[in-house]
Amino acid sequence: MSDRITPMSMFDYDARPVTPGVVLVGTRASRGAYAIRDFLSRNGYPFEWVDAERPDAVAAVLGAADVEPSALPLCILPDGSRLASATVEQVAAGLGMVAAPSRSVYDLAIVGAGPAGLAAAVNAASEGLRTVVVEAVAPGGQAGTTSMIENLLGFPDGISGSELATRATVQARRFGAELLLARPLVDVSADGPGYVAELSDGTLVLGRAVLFASGVEWRRLDVPGVDDLLGAGVYYGAGPSEALACTGSRVVVVGGGNSAGQAVVRFSRYAQQVTLLVRGRDLGASMSQYLIDHVTAIPNVEVRVRTQMVSLEADDRLRAVIVGSGDSPEPVRLPADALFICIGGAPRTDGAAGIGLVTNPAGYLVTGSDVARWPGSDWPLPREPLPLETNLPGVFAAGDVRYGSVKRCAAAIGEGSMAVALVHRRLAEVGGD
Amino acid sequence: MTDQQVVAHPDAAVSAEFTELASDERIAKAAAALERNGIRPLLAATGADARGLVGSLLVDGAEVYNNTSQTLQAIGVADDIERSGRYRPLRLRLYRMDREMQRRELRILAASPDYVVGSVHALTEGGSLLIASASGSQLGPLVSGAGQVILVIGAQKIVGDVATGMRRIYEYCYPLEDARARRAYGVPSGVNNVLIINKVMAPGRVTAIIVKERLGF
């Protein structure tokens, strides 16, 4: 036996799944392949990424070096079956992640499985309410993609967003809450005193009360070329599935908040260089101080304040970003292999558009005492709207999607928890079963 | 690997000594000794029976860590734990965690699962269990961190005493495990840590399923 010891993390040595996961074959410029990588990563499903432009890697998994471009992205499921031109919906179904609701009616239907939604699910189910959560992608929401949340009460060493989502999901299920994943909400309509939520695959969920905890989606960056390169070097959010792929790359992150800061920290461990572009004068306007201290101390990170994206340079994929700075009259070209856009959120209320929910001009759901003084709310009951209740009796909102909420994970958890007490009052009001 | 797939060892004499299936008498002797030592012995005629026993012992929804084990893979227990959806498989959860930023969470999670399921490298007729590990990460849960321990042991692993058990580890198991590690991880293995469990003080914590088939190394 050799006297030499090969240094290796004990977790890399031992703690890998021994059963086959998903194998995904595709090109890095493929938007569809990115969507599947993002879905699997956010759902914590182990997968092997095989670059279709590497014949040796393709041959190792398919037995042949060539694969029809039209078949990409190609997904091999753990049972050995193959999905050509795979979509997220097909992969989710193939992995058994698309469950049907077990009940014909629920006391509470929650839209969104981020911190607010999962907090509501835990509290509602633990108090005996028949609870279902519908979620378009994966538990965790925006917080779930954050590599570390360091200021959440009870976690002195911090907790990753994915771990928080995992624990909360286990907790909610333990109390009997159901989670219907991988299908976005497309419509909500009134049904007596309750509401029917329709999912993208036609699944209908009837809730005697509804809680919108759908959070925000990344605000779009209005720069030419961004949409063309989505998934092909340009990504919205922190891209948890892309960190390893950025090894040795030049990464640019746009945004001044905590999500952008955590993305910088994560990518700095893999990338050759990370550049953070911030439109404001400094990082203090939106980023927590502990994160500012961390980001500014990393050697391969450059922070450019008073800087805006002007345009992109690309051929089949991103090659550089062109930025304008308050300090320089001339645009500056920054070589870049990947661009991650984390510039804040737009409320995700698509599925509620048709039901008449009142929102502020930016799209956030109006609730509580704000309802009465909001034009067009037409509150129908003698009582006042409950806190967190929208202009539709029995429809509540919590977390980032709500107008006036504090955009922090802890605040979202608080609102989701709090909403359950209000749901109880609504259910008592309408009676029945 | 199953009885039909005895691993080819480079030394035929060593292989012959350490792949011989123990007689019913030796199995009974080892089982009785385990029981005296505070370890609950169960007997299974086949790997399939052992798989069923493991399933009956695990509680749905529990956190389960399946140790790196040819035995568990051969009889399908690794699949049951990681893919059935009945449990919370820790391997999958650990795999998705960031090795740098979640280092502390990784250590804590890996150290104290509700259940650890694995095998051993030798079981003595005196009821001692010997397990070797290159990284050592799987030993802490076995000896104290895990809530419950389930070990599946092919009857070819029964040896006369601790000294023979150590020899089984060095002469038989290590070359096979080294070859496996080089294929799987690209690095050699090593008899870096050895755990010997003689007695278990916590009643009911450790269950050893002895299988009348050659399973694993």
* Chain A residue with minimum CA distance to B89: A17
Asked if A385 and A402 touch (Cβ cutoff 8 Å), the reply is no
Mean pLDDT of B146-164: 98
Which among A1, A11, A45 has CB closest to B191? A1
Q: What is this structure's pTM? A: 0.86
Q: Which residues of A touch B106 (CB under 8 A)?
A: 11, 15
Q: Which of the two residues, A211 and A377, has the higher pLDDT score?
A: A211
- Nearest-Å Rg of the Cα atoms of chain B is 16
Q: B159: distance to nearest CA of chain A, Å? A: 23
Structure-token pair, residue B37 = 């030592």
User: Diameter of chain A by CA atoms?
Assistant: 83
In the structure, how many helices (H) and strands (E) does chain A have? Answer: 11, 21
Q: How far is B161 from chain A (nearest CA, A)?
A: 23
Q: Residue B188: closest CA among chain A residues belongs to which residue?
A: A6
Judged by CB atoms closer than 8 Å, whether chains meet at A6 and B188 is answered as yes
Residues B172-197 pLDDT 10s: 999 999 998 888 778 888 999 999 99
What integer is the mean pLDDT of A92-96?
92
**Residue B3 pLDDT:** 36
Chain A residues close to B187, C-beta within 8 Å: 6, 8, 13
**Residues of chain B contacting A13 with CB distance shorter than 8 Å:** 134-135, 137, 181, 185, 187
Is B18 in contact with B176 (CB distance < 8 Å)? Answer: no
Element (H, E) at A185: strand A185-191
What are B78-136's pLDDT values in tens digits?
999 998 889 999 998 888 787 777 788 888 889 999 999 999 999 999 999 999 999 89
Report the distance separating Cα B125 and Cα A424, nearest Å. 63
Instruction: Tell me how long chain A is.
Output: 433
Q: What is the 3-state secondary structure (H, E, C) of B108-170?
A: HHHHCCCEEEECCCEEECCCCEEEEECCCCCHHHHHHHCCEEEEEEEHHHEECCHHHHHHHHH
Comparing CB atoms, the residue among B83, B97, B188 nearest residue A160 is: B97
What is the H or E stretch that residue A291 is in? helix A289-296
The backbone region for B52, taken as left when phi is positive above 0, alpha when psi lies in -120 to 50, beta otherwise, is alpha
Question: Which residues in chain A have Cβ-Cβ distances shorter than 8 Å to B92?
Answer: 17, 44-46
| B101 interfaces chain A, CB cutoff of 8 Å | yes
Question: Across the interface, which of A6, A15, A147 has its CB nearest the CB of B187?
Answer: A6
Q: What is the pLDDT of residue A14?
A: 63
* CB contact (8 A) between residue B190 and residue A5: yes
User: Residue A6: pLDDT above 70?
Assistant: no
Mean pLDDT, residues A303-307 taken together = 94
Looking at the predicted structure, is the pLDDT value of residue A196 above 60? yes
Q: Is the pLDDT of residue A172 over 70?
A: yes
Chain segment A376-406, per-residue pLDDT in tens: 888 999 999 999 999 999 999 999 999 999 9
Say how far apart CA B120 and CA B3 lie, in whole Å. Answer: 17
